[in-house]
Structure 1
Amino acid sequence: MNPYIFREYDIRGLAEAELTTEVAKAVGAAFGSYLGGSATVTVGRDVRLSSPRLNGDFSAGVRGSGCDVIELGMVPTPLVYYSVGKLGADASAAITGSHNPVEYNGFKLSKGQLSLFGSEIQEIRSIIDSESFTSGSGGSTEKSIESAYVEEIQGKIEIARSLRIAVDAGNGTAGPLILELMKRLGIEVLPLYCEPDGRFPNHLPDPTIPEYVEDLRKLVMSEQVDMGIGLDGDGDRIGAIDDKGRIIWGDQLVALFAGEILARNPGGTIIFDVKCSQGLEEHIRALGGRPLMWRTGHSLIKRKLNEEKALLAGEMSGHMFFADDYYGYDDAIFAAARLVALASRTERPLSALIDELPQYVSTPEIRLECPDSLKFQLVERLTEFFKRDHQVIDIDGARVLFGDGWGLVRASNTQPALVARFEARSDERLEEIRSEVLTRVASLKSEMVGTSHGK
């Protein structure tokens, strides 16, 4: 069993080579044992071709631990979270590879409404390694909750005027449900790749990557709709395009939602991850809110939102967590409905709302290949270096502050890579900061690779 499948936020790997039947059953048995062998677990899966097998293997392991399983079938991950409260379950598991390439898959595990992460996921691994499983004979039932889910969201959303939107579900799991919800809300939708297809024949389902939303952008422009909405493979991350064909980044979405939420809840806490713009923090303060920067990762952000009793949290990656009038988990279908409702309450185009936000120049995420064995140590050394002359926020990687901009380098928790992002007041200054930080990264990597090869 490859130990690297046990990631920071979930368990993830190559479906056939790493998540074998033996491994999937062991993960299920360990999760059931972690829950004490007497819990009720809801299990749902995404559209991937490997998901039915993994679902069957995992559920068999859970039942073997003594826990009961409620099978939800193929549903978006937010419905798996929703099922815990709706069906009175103790825990849940979403079998999903999210936005990763076709050959990957994984398990997102939650106890109550809180996702397991870090040491809790390592505890699952420890139970497997030590074979300290509980044993029993749990039962299995099937439940369908899609209708209840759509009806509940419909009841929370008020549309002030009809809109025309385009939706690209990336052939992921959430397409049919978002179309049904928008139809009930009276929104005219131009659907794009909304038929679930685990081969992802058109593009990978990641709405934060510009090339994967290019078809959506073209549709928005050619049909002159009010906005475009993109969903990831399992429906827990949202991307958006404004009426001018511009990508609305995750931090800009948080800023838009924060405006509405803080108007109703003055002084409320809004959480965002370390990749987000300095402009978001400024915007939240200007609205009278309490901005709180936290570590990247859906499990970590969800936990922090719960601890701080925050009203909203969001990540650059498109995970949006609403707790003002929702359950505090990341749900792209609900986020899409909130965005449409927000846009319907003004006669101004969405682009005008975006233009009012604080403006900085920034890079997209830059991924730098780096072995899993070196990436965390490299970030530690980078932090030490820049702390000599700069303020460094080190809650998650190194966010180096330059006064008129910043550079972030952090170890990816899902891939053998470093993730970098830069922001400044001008293009020229952006390039200076980017060059200074990445030159130091390259130097450290070269030095560390040389040292490791020399052993």
Structure 2
Amino acid sequence: MTFRHRFDPTTLREYDIRGIVGKTLGPEDAHAIGRTFASLVARAGGRRLVIGHDGRLSSPSLEHALVEGAMASGMAVQRIGCGPTPMLYFAAIALGADAAVMVTGSHNPPDYNGFKMVRANRPFFGAQIRELGRLSAAGDVIPHRSGTVRDVDIRPAYVTRLLRDQGSGPRPLKVVWDNASSAAGDVLSMLVARLPGTHHILNGDIDGHFPAHHPDPTIPANMRQLAAAVRAEKADIGLAFDGDADRLGVVDETGTIIWADQLLVLLARDVLRTRPGATIIADVKASQILFDEIARAGGTPLMWKSGHSPIKTRMAETDALLAGEMSGHFFFADHWYGFDDALYAAVRVLEMVSHLKTPLSALRTALPARVSTPELRFDCPESRKFAVIAEVAARLEKTGATVCAIDGVRVSTPDGWWLLRASNTQAALTARAEGTTGTALARLQAELCAQLAQSGIAAPDFTEAGNN
């Protein structure tokens, strides 16, 4: 049986394969991923593949085609059904699989879907995804052979493992969860039934229409329902997931968002109490406050590239115990496996809060104050985006600026910093700036805009700047 398949090039992204269902992505692509990825696994001596999917309307049909493709390359497929992406990562470890694939559109709009892959419990990304595309287009797969498939309900084992290291804090908590109609729904219900305290779940049913709001907790508008419920219930904390529950959003008892870099400060302090000197990683978008506070708490801060795959890879390389991104991904290697898991992060947050003698808001307000912009994404031609970064870096080098160039350019000054980087997933640039004062922020924004102008790129709208 001859096999050859070309993917729409826009779907082969840096961290996963993702597209618009019915336009750039369909069952034939899913089958090709199964056939080609499984061939790579087989050529490396593997045979066991775990497959799961999220709650999007298109996910079951894509998962079916993916399984068929993997079986055509001789895989012994274990299907874990609908659930959160981190449950797939756990299943790969618990079941001793050689690789795993998750069908998920993550936090994207409902008409999107995609595939996240791991091999030997390491992220499969970047050049590996491009190579998969090349092999598929060339038909370079192993000869057809019949595999097997069986269904595995991993949910009870996953929930038990989530709870294994959860201590009993001195203060029972009242918690509001916004499942956001995500794939975590069933698992979340099982989890809260075994957690101490009082728990109220919003949007608990898995629903690929996402009727209440878009499933992305990094967007403030998507946190309004949770914030209102926390205030109405007089709860201690609110927790929110994205579509596949690998991103976590948090609001304190006042309904105020605790941004990811602020939350990572609190989690870092908690880890460092028992693991002094530990390396803790954050991406280049994070506040300088985070890196300063990690060092102040006795840790070793490390700035790294944005993206869950680079972060996980760097954690393994440095033996870091904790990492986080502004996108809401949190990675624990302290008592956990190093992958991003919003459910596990939520359990750790609850344990931390249960030991506090003050409300959670007191920790937030005690953090040093800065004035910053949100992350701003703006169009830039695919052919120009990396060239613009190179041009800006070259000009900055001539001026003697203090630049971190691990992911774009992050320019540090005595009164703040600004960041410009190329998106790995879109024809766009992203920018962020943070100053010690409003005046400092305005100056940093002007510097950034001047560099863009010199490269012929229109500056983003900074009118949303404010205290983050």
Q: TM range, normalised to the smaller chain?
A: over 0.9
1:321 aligned residue = 331
One-letter amino acid of the counterpart of residue 430, structure 2: V
One-letter amino acid of the counterpart of residue 98, structure 1: S
1:411 aligns with 2:417: no
On the 8 A contact 1:113/1:329 being kept in 2, the answer is: no
Counterpart pick for 2:117 among 109, 112, 118: 109
> Aligned-pair distance for 1:442?
4.5
1:45 aligns with 2:53: yes
On the 8 A contact 1:179/1:189 being kept in 2, the answer is: no
1:15 aligns with 2:21: yes
Aligned partners of 2:204 and 2:428: how far apart in 1? Answer: 31
Aligned partners of 2:371 and 2:405: how far apart in 1? Answer: 22
1:301 aligns with 2:311: yes
- Secondary structure in 1 matching 2:398: coil
After TM superposition, list the pairs within 5 Å mapping 1:37-436 onto structure 2: 38-135=46-143, 136-160=145-169, 161-389=171-399, 390-436=401-447
Deviation per residue, 1:210-244 (Å, 9 max, x gap): 11111111212222211111100001010101112
1:452 aligned residue = none
- The 3 A distance-change label for structure 1 pair 445 and 15 is farther
> Aligned-pair distance for 1:170?
1.1
Aligned partners of 2:453 and 2:147: how far apart in 1? Answer: 53
Aligned partners of 1:30 and 1:442: how far apart in 2? Answer: 44
Question: Which segment drifts farther, 372-381 or 401-410?
Answer: 372-381
Deviation per residue, 1:139-163 (Å, 9 max, x gap): 1111001011111111211131210
Deviation per residue, 1:312-370 (Å, 9 max, x gap): 01111111010110111000000011101100012211111122333322111111122
Aligned partners of 2:12 and 2:52: how far apart in 1? Answer: 20
> Aligned-pair distance for 1:288?
1.1
Unaligned runs of 5+ in 2: 1-6, 459-468
- Secondary structure in 1 matching 2:433: strand
Task: Output the aligned Cα RMSD.
Answer: 1.4
1:4 aligned residue = 10
- The 3 A distance-change label for structure 1 pair 179 and 363 is farther
> Aligned-pair distance for 1:372?
2.5
TM-score, length basis structure 1:
0.95
On the 8 A contact 1:6/1:121 being kept in 2, the answer is: yes
1:451 aligned residue = none
Aligned partners of 1:167 and 1:196: how far apart in 2? Answer: 14
On the 8 A contact 1:282/1:358 being kept in 2, the answer is: no
On the 8 A contact 1:40/1:70 being kept in 2, the answer is: yes
One-letter amino acid of the counterpart of residue 148, structure 1: A
Aligned partners of 1:387 and 1:412: how far apart in 2? Answer: 22
One-letter amino acid of the counterpart of residue 318, structure 1: G
On the 8 A contact 1:92/1:111 being kept in 2, the answer is: yes
Aligned partners of 2:229 and 2:272: how far apart in 1? Answer: 33
- The 3 A distance-change label for structure 1 pair 133 and 282 is same
On the 8 A contact 2:51/2:80 being kept in 1, the answer is: yes
Aligned partners of 2:300 and 2:137: how far apart in 1? Answer: 43
On the 8 A contact 2:371/2:441 being kept in 1, the answer is: yes
Aligned partners of 2:266 and 2:421: how far apart in 1? Answer: 26
Unaligned runs of 5+ in 1: 448-455
One-letter amino acid of the counterpart of residue 323, structure 2: A
Aligned partners of 1:371 and 1:156: how far apart in 2? Answer: 48
> Aligned-pair distance for 1:53?
1.1
On the 8 A contact 1:163/1:187 being kept in 2, the answer is: yes
> Aligned-pair distance for 1:443?
4.6
> Aligned-pair distance for 1:62?
1.1
Figure out how many residues of one structure are paired with residues of the other and give that number.
447
On the 8 A contact 2:280/2:300 being kept in 1, the answer is: yes
Aligned partners of 2:114 and 2:384: how far apart in 1? Answer: 24
Deviation per residue, 1:241-263 (Å, 9 max, x gap): 11122211111111111101111
Q: Which runs of structure 1 show a deviation greater than 3 angstroms over 4 or more consecutive aligned residues?
A: none
Counterpart pick for 1:31 among 37, 40, 43: 37
On the 8 A contact 1:159/1:185 being kept in 2, the answer is: no
- Secondary structure in 2 matching 1:126: helix
Aligned partners of 2:177 and 2:12: how far apart in 1? Answer: 33
Deviation per residue, 1:279-308 (Å, 9 max, x gap): 111111111111111000001100110111
